[in-house]
Structure 1
């Protein structure tokens, strides 16, 4: 005679914890780092997360522009096409000049939203 094992139901406490953890990640205000875009666009050649390097840190950029109307659009354009220096003498090179290749509006927006979440 073969005995069939019946799967036990999911532990409701574990399910609840998993859902709460997932929900808190979604609403924490932090965005996951778009590492592949950061690498592709060579952001870390000039920027660091929390200290200035050749350019301002991502946290400095977020602090300056987070609550500024129109900042997302301006920063998106700057990432894609480059732009004048706002932080000293070094202008922001375009995506192509950085060697990252063409940068779509959606990918630029992903980077901007991540930076502004710092």
Structure 2
């Protein structure tokens, strides 16, 4: 029987494989969530590099947030990644939620990134 960690890794690989199949050259907006923080990166898979990143650990956000593991923090990170993507010239991305279900913090981050100007 597979361990819970292996199950999550398989789910993340399955989602990532589907996302890359429909990407058509677009960059990938990858999300990682922990119990304390939330992290997001815009990744160029063709050139294997990170174009922009944001997290609740950034100095800009850390002082203004109560904690890094709530919907408010995810919304702030979503807005920040949208600003940094605009600065890098990125407009269209595909959303890679990893092994996480699309609700709560993940949904709040995605909605804030859309409001900030990213389209996916």
Which of these two proteins has the greater Rg computed from alpha carbons?
Answer: 1
Q: TM-score, normalised by structure 2?
A: 0.31
Higher share of residues assigned helix: 1
